[in-house]
């Protein structure tokens, strides 16, 4: 049975999509069958793995029309990595769902049908705490929170944690916090270290050891429709996300394969 991890933070541009597609890409290469669910009308994860959101069937159909997700899921060029694409139409889905009695459980109902087919299902949420994100958190086993190493990094985190608490109380008592991952760390900025210290002081063991560095290859890979490990396996971004995938596997006590499960050291790794 696959583990469903929602990647959420209502703050925009913190690395949710970059984390969803590259973590998915690394799980895939490590031979864990993985599905990315693009739950953001911006459809950045969809285009980031090389699909044109205009030309693909998408998540809207399974939420609103009850289409089986298997009829919408597309294999990517990355081994073991599938995607349930998104489309700008998803903006309208929230309005259409609002009066339905099971409105918070529609994504869960869809993912329950395919959960057994995957080791991991990663949901890329939009920068909002609207109904689709509530659906993602209701469907998920855990939530991963990317935090960018910049000014106001902690801004809005209280609200997010409060929303998670409400979901745990009312909609999904099994929802856990997978952890906080620090993103876009820039070794040249003293501020970045201050943010790392601040986040670790506040959230302690919730913070992953692996820190994702700022790396231009991570920014350019989506324009090639490739995850970082396919685009440039030796780049710092690829090594960071591979280490991150392995840290999650260890944390979850997943021991399927990966004999070479050693952390790859970087000169300037934290
Ligand atoms: N580690 C990184 N190094 C360099 N660029 C990065 C890194 N992480 C993300 N970016 C770039 O920063 C921008 C925002 O990242 P991303 O789209 O992943 O954030 P997001 O949280 O999904 O945004 P949104 O809230 O709009 O969905 C993108 O242009 C992405 O390519
Ligand atoms: Mg995004």
User: Residue 96 and residue 74: Cα distance in Å, rounded?
Assistant: 25
pLDDT per position as a tens digit, 86-100? 999 899 999 999 999
Please report which confidence band the pLDDT of residue 258 belongs to, taking 50, 70 and 90 as the band edges: very low
User: Residue 98 and residue 87: Cα distance in Å, rounded?
Assistant: 19
* Centroid of chain to Cα 176: 15
pLDDT per position as a tens digit, 220-243? 999 999 999 999 999 999 999 999
Give the number of the ligand closest to the Cα of residue 218: 1
Query: What CATH number labels 3-251?
Result: 3.40.50.300
Residue of the CA atom closest to atom 20 of ligand 1: 13
Residue of the CA atom closest to atom 8 of ligand 1: 15
- Ligand 1 contacts CB of residue 15 (under 6 A): yes
- Ligand 1 contacts CB of residue 148 (under 6 A): no
pTM of the model: 0.94
Helices 131-139, 90-97: axis angle to 10 degrees equals 80
């Amino acid at each position: 049975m696959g583990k469903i991890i929602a990647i959420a933070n209502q703050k925009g541009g913190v690395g949710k999509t970059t984390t969803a597609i590259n973590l998915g890409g690394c799980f895939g290469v490590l031979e864990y069958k993985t599905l990315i669910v693009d739950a953001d009308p911006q459809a950045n994860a969809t285009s980031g793995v090389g699909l044109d959101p205009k030309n693909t069937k998408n998540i809207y159909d399974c939420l609103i029309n009850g289409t089986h997700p298997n009829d919408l899921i597309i294999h990517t060029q990355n081994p073991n990595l599938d995607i349930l694409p998104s489309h700008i139409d998803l903006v309208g889905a929230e309005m259409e769902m609002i009066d339905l009695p099971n409105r918070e459980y529609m994504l869960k109902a869809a993912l329950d049908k395919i959960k057994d087919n995957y080791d991991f299902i990663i949901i890329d949420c939009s920068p909002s705490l609207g109904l689709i994100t509530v659906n993602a958190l209701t469907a998920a086993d855990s939530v991963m929170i990317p935090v960018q190493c910049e000014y106001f990094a902690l801004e809005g985190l209280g609200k997010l944690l409060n929303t998670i608490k409400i979901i745990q109380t009312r909609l999904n008592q099994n929802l856990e916090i997978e952890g906080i991952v620090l993103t876009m760390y820039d070794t040249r900025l003293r501020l970045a270290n201050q943010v790392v210290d601040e986040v670790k002081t506040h959230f302690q063991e919730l913070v992953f050891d692996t820190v994702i560095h700022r790396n231009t290859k991570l920014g350019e890979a989506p324009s090639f429709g490739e995850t970082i490990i396919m685009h440039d396996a030796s780049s710092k971004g690829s090594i960071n996300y591979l280490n991150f995938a392995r840290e999650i596997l260890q944390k979850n006590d997943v021991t399927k394969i990966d004999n070479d499960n050693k952390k790859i050291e970087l000169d300037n790794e934290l």
